[in-house]
């Protein structure tokens, strides 16, 4: 779809008039062209929070004979499929991750969008 | 007095709470979480259970239910709110109480009688508990380990917001008596204003002798006494 519009910007100099053809891109109107994305949110327990699951998994790995394991942290992984503008999505998901998808009292999160 | 007992999908101690209130001679009614008003409730109880299947985190989804906005407003106006078990978790998730409840340190679900020592008797939730009383009340949870950062713990101590702590039968706060690894053996706390409280043990399951203990009733009776005082103060 070719979206273009004839607009008359405010004259830059007194008396000067001109018209310019401006093409509107998806940058300006993100809803016109939507982009499918996948957001990945990784939630992990904060370092100060005891993580009995991580400790138990670590012990099990050691009992199985795996060596050199210093620590295991068990968290959560969320995959969110969405479309729209990437920056707007990042802003929204950061807000959601802080408010709802993770609990900042006990968890940290990392957001990746691809 | 009239208690509103909230009902979320997968609440399972709602009827227990209603019964516990009724045995004290007062009325309680169930309130579905999609409601937006608490009606003429004098106090609110958020009961135990597994609201929304404990998906994501315990209490994380329930806190966004429509009724929680009314509960927040009610608490802001000074109304008394008691959260039991999952109710405690919901109040923490909602930010109405500080800290969080995480997985028990041994990863086991604990369903057993515990002993509780009351740390502050000057609140609407504890005033009727005899000073030397060690309460025997059951717990039933997998995520009851109370956690808060050091600054928050300090604040809880300074403001006397710790209401109940796990102890042995004689009142010692030992590590063995701590069923879930809670910091400072914390079983229940209140907010700074002392009108919102939460605890992991179930006073609703210890409200009559036939249940093995009637100690939990002391908490309901404390709330009722506080409500009566408020009504009397209003009338005066």
Minimal-distance CA residue of chain B relative to A52 = B105
CB atoms within 10 A of CB A112: 11
The percentage of chain A sitting over the pLDDT mark of 70, rounded to a whole number, equals 70
pLDDT at B236: 83
Q: How far is it, in rounded angstroms, from Cα B54 to Cα B103? A: 12
Q: How far is it, in rounded angstroms, from Cα B15 to Cα B28? A: 10
- The pLDDT of residue A39 is above 60: yes
Long-range Cβ contacts of B150-158 (<8 Å, 24+ apart) = B152/B98, B152/B99, B153/B183, B153/B184, B155/B98, B156/B98, B156/B99, B156/B184, B156/B186, B156/B189, B157/B184
- Check A50 against B102: CB less than 8 A apart: yes
- The pLDDT of residue A19 is above 50: no
Nearest CB to A105; choose among B64, B100, B181: B100
The percentage of chain B sitting over the pLDDT mark of 90, rounded to a whole number, equals 99
Task: Show residues of chain B in contact with A72, CB under 8 Å.
Answer: none
CB atoms within 10 A of CB B67: 23
Nearest CB to B106; choose among A49, A52, A103: A52
pLDDT tens per residue across span B165-186 = 999 999 999 999 999 999 999 9
Q: Are B129 and B105 spatial neighbours (Cβ–Cβ below 8 Å)?
A: no
- Check A52 against B181: CB less than 8 A apart: yes
pLDDT tens per residue across span A43-75 = 999 998 989 999 999 999 999 999 999 999 999
- Check A49 against B64: CB less than 8 A apart: no
Is B145 part of the contact surface with chain A (CB cutoff 8 Å)? yes
Is A103 part of the contact surface with chain B (CB cutoff 8 Å)? yes
- The pLDDT of residue B202 is above 50: yes
Q: Which whole number is the average pLDDT over B145-173?
A: 98
pLDDT band at residue A34, thresholds of 50, 70 and 90?
low
Q: Which whole number is the average pLDDT over B184-206?
A: 98
Average pLDDT, rounded, for chain A: 81
Chain A and chain B share a number of CB contacts under 8 A equal to: 36
Q: How far is it, in rounded angstroms, from Cα B35 to Cα B48? A: 19
pLDDT band at residue A28, thresholds of 50, 70 and 90?
low
CA dist B163 to A38, B79, B120, B198, B200, Å? 45, 18, 5, 9, 12
Q: Which whole number is the average pLDDT over B147-154?
A: 97
Closest approach of A67 to chain B, Cα-based (Å):
24
Closest approach of B105 to chain A, Cα-based (Å):
6
- The pairing of strands B2-7 and B43-46 is parallel
pLDDT tens per residue across span B87-112 = 999 999 999 999 999 999 999 999 99
- The pLDDT of residue A33 is above 90: no
Token pair 């607009």 is at which residue? A7
Phi, psi of A32 (to 5 degrees): -70, -45
pLDDT at A35: 80
- Check A50 against B60: CB less than 8 A apart: no
């Amino acid at each position: 779809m070719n979206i273009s519009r004839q607009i008359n910007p405010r004259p830059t100099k007194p008396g000067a008039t001109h018209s310019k053809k401006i093409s509107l891109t998806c940058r300006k109107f993100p809803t016109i062209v939507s982009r499918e994305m996948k957001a990945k949110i990784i939630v992990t327990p904060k370092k100060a929070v005891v993580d009995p699951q991580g400790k138990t998994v670590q012990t099990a790995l050691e009992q199985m004979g795996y060596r050199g394991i210093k620590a295991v942290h068990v968290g959560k992984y969320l995959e969110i499929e969405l479309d729209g503008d990437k920056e707007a999505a990042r802003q929204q998901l950061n807000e959601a991750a802080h408010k709802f998808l993770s609990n900042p009292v006990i968890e940290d999160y990392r957001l990746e969008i691809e | 007095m009239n208690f509103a007992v909230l009902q979320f999908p997968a609440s399972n101690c709602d009827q227990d709470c209603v019964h516990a209130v009724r045995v004290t001679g007062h009325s309680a009614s169930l309130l579905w979480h999609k409601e937006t008003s608490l009606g003429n409730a004098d106090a609110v109880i958020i009961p135990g259970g597994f609201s929304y299947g404990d998906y994501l985190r315990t209490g994380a989804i329930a806190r966004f239910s429509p009724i929680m906005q009314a509960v927040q407003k009610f608490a802001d106006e000074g109304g008394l709110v008691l959260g039991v078990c999952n109710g405690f978790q919901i109040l923490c998730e909602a930010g109405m109480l500080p800290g969080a409840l995480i997985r028990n340190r041994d990863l086991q679900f604990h369903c057993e009688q515990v002993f509780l020592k009351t740390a502050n008797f000057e609140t609407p939730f504890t005033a009727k508990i005899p000073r030397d009383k060690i309460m025997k009340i059951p717990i039933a949870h997998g995520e009851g380990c109370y956690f808060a950062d050091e600054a928050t713990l300090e604040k809880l101590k300074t403001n006397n917001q710790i209401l109940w702590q796990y102890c042995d039968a004689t009142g010692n706060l030992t590590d063995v008596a701590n069923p879930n690894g809670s910091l400072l053996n914390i079983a229940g706390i209140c907010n700074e204003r002392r009108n919102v409280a939460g605890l992991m043990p179930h006073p609703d399951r210890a409200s009559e002798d036939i249940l093995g203990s009637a100690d939990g009733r002391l908490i309901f009776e404390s709330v009722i006494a506080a409500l009566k005082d408020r009504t009397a103060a209003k009338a005066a």
